Amino acid sequence: MDLLRREFFVSNDRWVAVPLGADDAPALQDFLDANPLYSQIVNGRPFRPGEALEEITDVPPFAHRQAHAVAVLDRASGAWQGFVSLVDGLIDPGVCHIGLFLVGSAWHGTGLATEVYTAVEQRARISGARWMRLGVVVGNVRAERFWRRMGFDEVRQRHGQPYEGPSTSVRVLFKPLGAAGRSEYLACVERDRPDSP
């Protein structure tokens, strides 16, 4: 299957983002296995066999419009550079949620993560999203710094999350994409209020 023919969102001359289906799970698993750093930090172990298929096929337990699994590939060679899972309309139609955002270790510090996130945000704006949302595990310092640089703010922390690593706490972050800020967001996404269970 020629993944490069299925462009998903605005890319550039160096990389292309393409949607994935269940048939692409072996290729994603190879990428995850070659880039275990995220899972090592969050779960204290490499990615498990079969985790790629879960990333592609799992859907959130909350109301949502559509879930997407997206590969980031080198435009010339087709080599994997990253993976992004997105959920449109999570909890509220105006929320675009980033599940897993993973750039291969070889591309850390190259600006690829910023380029890919910028494209994700541009797609969300075009699709009518009012806010971006994600969770970052407390102690994943590189990710925490990155999302702050991208303009995200913490709205709450959730504790006792199902991670296997040293932290089971997650910072829930959001970013307004227009004039509707924190108070409007929390009015629409009650789950993210600091006082909600």
pTM: 0.91
* Mean pLDDT across 58-70: 93
pLDDT at 113: 97
Those residues with Cβ within 8 angstroms of residue 116's Cβ, 6 or more apart along the chain or in another chain: 15, 17, 72, 82, 84, 101, 103
The structural domains of the chain, with segments of one domain joined by +, span 3-192
Helical H segments across the chain, by residue range: 25-34, 37-43, 51-57, 112-126, 141-149, 182-188
Higher pLDDT, 3 or 114: 114
Euclidean distance between CA atoms 55 and 84, whole angstroms: 9
Q: Which CATH code for domain 3-192? A: 3.40.630.30
8 A C-beta contact, residue 103 and residue 122: no
The chain-wide mean pLDDT, for the chain, equals 91
